[in-house]
Structure 1
């Protein structure tokens, strides 16, 4: 207990407004609301204290504060950013003052008993920001410590008049975190604005702004949002940098039920690629107004409106991409070493772009283009090439694993990633993709929706068996397999594409 006294005694050496970082420093609290005097009214709310260095002194340990809620005697839920990458945390229960060193229930939890959502990244604000803490020593339930239920997966927040109650350990006037609650209405998808992650977060509003326009400040990340209709958890309070206009953000709990019930059941996603891992991937940047495939959308745009696609580096002077990525453009830009601050950007004119002579806008087959650079790329650790499979290579083993590279949109953020998957033959793809799919020349692969939405047009597919280029991603439609062009049948064209140059025209 002396250690706890020592740690808690430095908890408020600096004002909470000075704390910045990813371990709860941006955690939020309900600044205005009813102070909980009787813990029997909020016995399912717990506090989280996580160690971190003083922002101005690496040798001084601080304890950042968050809120959590109790699902059972051994299960605690909070935000991932409150507990990510810390050696231990303290769970405090049964008290309105989370900094009270005399609290009867203060449980230390080691890192191995803290599970952050495997898709969580502190680099993407608000995405998958949930963690589950499992207690080795069960809580002893009483009049001031208890649990709360959560809504089931079919629950819909579809009535903006529904009232919710948010609970949190608010920092009152930068002094200490006191438990409060605040009734609010949630904000529908149509009305919400400036959320951190539109695909996951909703908002609630008190209808009035306080504290210089903010209703939340330090301390309340991870707190429960409870329906006043059924008394169950519907969300987890969050807010990273604070919100204004009387709004607060929360994660709908229904999106995370699988993780809550069994954190190991959620598959991790690949981390963003490093510059070295992406060395054979380039970007093709094109003025949108010139692209024939997008003419109807961008006909009135100026040249500053540009689209970015993926491409594959075959050699110091050879770049491969989709035909529809460049078809109709008088010039494009090729960017190598795209993930580094030392990226190489080259302008490529129309005479350097070869389109397959059988390419047609009406379908996806032969959707391939080769770009020849006049100025060779300089290969290094972050810029390199990938070899083609030979023309006799057959993709006829559905158990074969391949790795798909390219930009993927996950929670509104586009990042280069790679995923291992299995390919599907054309006969399986056609009824799923539709009549425009040419089963004689194309194949497809599936991608778990939790991994994001592919935006990899022109991205490479590498065989895990021989580490060579076996395919190139062509297109993707929501809810359908991802279409790719096998490389082997186009081997001869890629090696000498100007046998018959396609006379492109702008339509």
Structure 2
């Protein structure tokens, strides 16, 4: 399962002659799509601009100008980077050109009526880059000012033949003007996206080349709507353009419906863990060419290609992780004290790794491996172990809270975090996950995207009731429950000596 990490540019207009003249910051981006001559064709599109010299503008010379769309008479949606930390912005509607003059509708909106996604970070462009503006005075709808609907939560961005229309006040050259245009494009396949953008976060979807003349996205298009030509509804919001031509990168609107309907319903990002809080979590680094479970994805992997997984420190000599993470690798690297500057990396060879004898790639059950270290770890404030639950521990209380630990992508970067959730009985996940899910040995929990999405496997699940290890994450995807391996049924296997290693020692 690939995690794609994207490269893209921030799309706001900088009215700063030195920056533009000397560096040609936006000279590469020209959109030649259809110019909107009649606003009735795009009555749901609005413009945003934040005047320069506001108190939070450090440079005192920057004006941000973006696109937005009208959701209702009082609701405007745009990018977070277009409004972030500004004490006020202006919303303009019924206009073919975004400027400071001659606007039919120019509404000043104060900061208290602007909500950007709580997971957005201005330091990491693109991720969770969405904001909602609430107008105190409702817009007057007409033939040239109106709203547009959002797609439903179950809408899937998987039809490459579907055409979407991207709208935006894209700039034609370094100085403007910002003229409203639209441009048609198709969805990119995952393979084409990977080849084009190399790595791109799963938060985004991308388009291929425009079906009409020109590139898709240019500066000024930030926050613009992406509309399905099939149903006429919003499917995405522009957040950036890729390093290849003008291919667009967009946030799927389905991921942000909760925020759009009620910004306060989305909880802030849990902070990254301190080294002490993550002292029982380790990392497993595997050279890509050895990844048996990812053979197709890493068929052409070179010496430097690698993938990281989480692991759990059980004792000074025992590390627990997923079987599929280490299967077939003649060696891997274990990193302890991972969040500290004094992190320690240990090379572990195949004879130190034992995979559960019942594990098979075709299913999830018994997806567990134990690593036995040559030299005991030195425990301290940042390196330690976690206790295991007893063998008779039963996961039969649906009200019990557990804490999931692991590397998660929330603000555009992968960090080690934790969040609380409730587990589900395996029988409830069986119909969703199919034959590979064995409810006799596995359980699951619902994905809480607003608090965190595990991005690696092997992370611990700890009971808040007894503070002991009750499970380990072994599988997840963006739209399915997370599968975890309960620890209690595996205690006999976990506690037995490394048979494989002892056999090799006797042979030696």
Question: TM-score, normalization: structure 2?
Answer: 0.73
Match of 2:4 in 1: none
Matched, 1:236 2:240: no
RMSD: 4.8
Offset of 1:335 from its aligned partner? 1.1
Match of 2:281 in 1: 281
Match of 1:469 in 2: 469
Report the Cα distance in structure 1 between the residues aligned to 2:103 and 2:293, rounded to whole angstroms. Answer: 65
Matched, 1:387 2:387: yes
Deviates more, 1:199-208 or 1:62-71: 199-208
Match of 1:444 in 2: 443
Match of 1:12 in 2: 15
Q: Equivalences for 1:157-172 in 2 at 5 Å?
A: 164=165, 166-172=166-172
- SS of the residue corresponding to residue 332 of structure 1 reads strand
**Does structure 2 retain, via aligned residues, the 8 Å contact 1:316–1:378?**
yes
- SS of the residue corresponding to residue 81 of structure 1 reads helix
- SS of the residue corresponding to residue 472 of structure 1 reads strand
- Structure 1's 405 and 19: CA in aligned 2 closer, same or farther, altered over 3 A? farther
Q: Equivalences for 1:71-470 in 2 at 5 Å?
A: 71-101=71-101, 103=103, 105-117=105-117, 120=120, 126-141=126-141, 146-150=145-149, 152-153=151-152, 164=165, 166-189=166-189, 193=193, 194=196, 197=201, 200-203=204-207, 205-206=209-210, 216-225=217-226, 233=234, 235-240=236-241, 244-245=244-245, 247-251=247-251, 253=253, 256-257=256-257, 259-264=259-264, 270=270, 273=273, 275-287=275-287, 306-339=306-339, 342-354=342-354, 359-361=358-360, 364-365=365-366, 367-374=368-375, 376-377=377-378, 379-380=380-381, 382-391=382-391, 393-408=393-408, 416-425=416-425, 442-448=441-447, 450=449, 454=454, 456-470=456-470
**Does structure 2 retain, via aligned residues, the 8 Å contact 1:29–1:219?**
no
Q: Which runs of 5+ in 2 are unaligned?
A: 1-12
Q: Spell out, residue by residue over 1:67-95, the C-alpha distance to the aligned partner (whole angstroms, 9 max, x if none).
A: 11223321111123322344432223344
Larger Rg: 1
**Does structure 1 retain, via aligned residues, the 8 Å contact 2:161–2:186?**
yes
**Does structure 2 retain, via aligned residues, the 8 Å contact 1:334–1:346?**
yes
Q: Spell out, residue by residue over 1:210-229, the C-alpha distance to the aligned partner (whole angstroms, 9 max, x if none).
A: 6xxx6643222112345678
Report the Cα distance in structure 1 between the residues aligned to 2:189 and 2:119, rounded to whole angstroms. Answer: 23
- SS of the residue corresponding to residue 112 of structure 1 reads helix
Question: TM-score, normalization: structure 1?
Answer: 0.73
Report the Cα distance in structure 1 between the residues aligned to 2:213 and 2:40, rounded to whole angstroms. Answer: 29
- Structure 1's 189 and 433: CA in aligned 2 closer, same or farther, altered over 3 A? closer
Report the Cα distance in structure 2 between the residues aligned to 1:220 and 1:297, rounded to whole angstroms. Answer: 34
- Structure 1's 397 and 449: CA in aligned 2 closer, same or farther, altered over 3 A? closer
Report the Cα distance in structure 1 between the residues aligned to 2:90 and 2:341, rounded to whole angstroms. Answer: 40
- SS of the residue corresponding to residue 62 of structure 2 reads strand
**Does structure 2 retain, via aligned residues, the 8 Å contact 1:355–1:501?**
no
- SS of the residue corresponding to residue 385 of structure 2 reads coil
Offset of 1:171 from its aligned partner? 3.5
**Does structure 2 retain, via aligned residues, the 8 Å contact 1:353–1:370?**
yes
**Does structure 2 retain, via aligned residues, the 8 Å contact 1:160–1:185?**
no
**Does structure 1 retain, via aligned residues, the 8 Å contact 2:183–2:216?**
no
Offset of 1:133 from its aligned partner? 1.1
- Structure 1's 424 and 500: CA in aligned 2 closer, same or farther, altered over 3 A? farther
For these two proteins, the number of residue pairs brought into alignment is 480
